[in-house]
Structure 1
Amino acid sequence: MSDVIAEAREVRKHFGHLEVLKGINLTVKRGEVTCILGPSGSGKSTFLRCFNQLETMDGGYIKIDGQPLGVRINNGVLRKQAEAEIAKSRENIGMVFQGFNLFPHMTVLENICEAPIRVRKEERKTVTARAHELLKRVGLSDKAHSYPVSLSGGQQQRVAIARALAMEPKLMLFDEPTSALDPELVGEVLDVMRDLAKAGMTMIVVTHEIGFAREVGDNLVFMDGGYVIEQGDPREVLSNPQHERTQQFLAKVL
């Protein structure tokens, strides 16, 4: 098994005449935490959404475990996958959004169990046991039968993480998971993410949490204007950025 779990090469994306991603390259090793920083509009979230085909690439490719996303290769020719094939590939990739996106009419337990039962046709008993373990893991064992409206933002985001983990993904994507939270609730979500990193979960995290990137990240990527401007060890990049644009950005946010 290769130590590379995800590979992006020359990924491009445009919306009309606006080119948002201009040839992005990234390699993610198994068990690593890759943090992506950059100003608003730099293409961070769009790039992340390409990893599970929520955005369709206009050029380049992304591979997960050596298999290209959204396309298949026939006799050396790339062909777009059918929607059913794309949906199948998404099963191995968990994603946590800025908003919590929980189903308001379902309990916490039902939210977590829904995808494994509906998508993978797993037995309810097996999935329910896994869901309770995940709730314990994110510190919400007592909230299994609560509805999202009764939870704080931090609690809802922790449920969203548990829901993504219920599919037992190979890769977890986080799109600014703390940006919608009140400052005092940020820590409880970051603590869960730290525990995931310690357990060896491969993660790509779009974030403005510089402290988290420095402490937990194995690789830091700074994006601006649809390009990767600089990347490397987070401690090194944050303390000694080489590119002028990175220096300007960090001078404002640190």
Structure 2
Amino acid sequence: MDQAPLVRARNVHKAFHHVEVLKGIDLDVKAGEVVVILGPSGSGKSTFLRCINRLETIDKGSIFVDGEQIGYQLRNGKLQPLSNRAIATQRSKIGMVFQQFNLYPHMTVLQNVIEAPIGVHGRSRDEAITEARELLAKVGMSHKVNAYPRQLSGGQQQRVAIARALAIRPTLMLFDEPTSALDPELVGEVLTTMRSLADQGLTMIVVTHEIGFAREAADRVVFMDGGRVVEEGSPEAVLENPRHPRTRSFLSRFI
């Protein structure tokens, strides 16, 4: 039997102020798979990503991560909302990297990375520091452990943010346009870090406009438009020979 998907979304709907942003999203992501979501601004990509770790509540449908329904629990045959504490526990298994780096400005690089492992996961300080140094080495930031965010470039801050997300030992990593706030010359260093993570088998869902990253690192590309999944398939299929006119129109801007 095939292994159950790590992420399973079914008929996911979400509206803001009566404007429907997600209109029935279905998506499976296997463990170890890298899925890149493309689409125009306003297509619902980032909203869907935020729904996966319950930063946004959904109005209809279901999302499961590693066998657990996000935000709900079945009790006595009925779905009941989870407490904030239980949701926080679910969220603690999902790493997320945002457009903005969201580093604590009053903490050093090392302090930023060890904050969650110690404060949320209860690891010892020595263990957290050892692992943080390993992660910072992995993202090429060993030389900046004692620096403060204001002393770093945007690309360096984003690589620290990736190390911080990895420090919780996530089963799933979500990237919400992680290079969109960077100057063009800094984009490459972050994408290189992400490609390295993909090569190591980390399960990743990446919302991005970086077509090159999708072509080189994705196992599957999903194109969203108008709150729906319009097309999905291998990078070769979607990027080189898209079937849907909307996908072709979108990709033509990058050629």
Fold shared per TM-score above 0.5: yes
What is the DSSP-based 3-state SS (H/G/I as helix, E as strand, rest coil) of the residue aligned with 2:6? strand
Aligned pair count? 254
How far has the Cα of 1:4 moved from its partner?
1.4
Answer yes or no: is 1:174 the counterpart of 2:175.
yes
Partner of 1:197: 198
Question: Which string of whole-angstrom CA distances, capped at 9 and with x for unpartnered residues, describes residues 168-219 of structure 1?
Answer: 0000000000000011100100011011001000000000000100111011
Alignment of 1:155 with 2:166, yes or no, is: no
Taking only the aligned residue pairs, the percentage that are identical comes to 62
Q: Which residue pairs with 2:216 in the alignment? A: 215
1:75 is displaced (CA, Å) by: 2.8
Letter matched to residue 210 of structure 2: E
**TM-score when scaled to structure 1?**
0.99
Give the partner amino acid of 1:182: D
Paired position in structure 2 for 1:5: 6
| Superposition TM-score, scaled by structure 2 size | 0.98
* 4+ residue segments displaced more than 3 Å: none
Structure 1: how far apart are the matches of 2:5 and 2:164? 25
- Pairs within 5 Å for 1:111-122: 111-122=112-123
Counterpart secondary structure, 1:4? coil
User: Which amino acid is 1:164 matched to?
Assistant: A
Distance 1:48 1:76 in 2: 28
Over aligned residue pairs, what C-alpha RMSD do you find? 0.9
Please list the CA deviations of residues 24-75 of structure 1 after superposition, one character each: whole Å capped at 9, or x if unmatched: 0000001000000000000000000001100001110110111100000113
Give the equivalent residue in structure 1 for 2:253. Answer: 252
How far is the alpha carbon of 1:3 from its aligned partner? 4.7
C-alpha displacement of 1:248: 0.8
Uncovered stretches (5+) of structure 2, i.e. residues with no partner? none
Cα distance in 2 for partners of 1:147, 1:28 equals 36
Q: Which residue of 2 aligns with 1:133?
A: 134
Offset of 1:2 from its aligned partner?
Answer: 3.2
Q: Distance in 2 between matches of 1:168 and 1:212?
A: 23
Once residues 138 and 65 of structure 2 are traced to their aligned partners in structure 1, the CA distance between those partners, rounded to angstroms, is 26
The answer for the alignment partner of 1:235 in structure 2 is: 236
Q: Take 1:76 and 1:64, find their aligned partners in 2: how far apart are those partners?
A: 20
Quick one: which amino acid aligns to residue 13 of structure 1? K
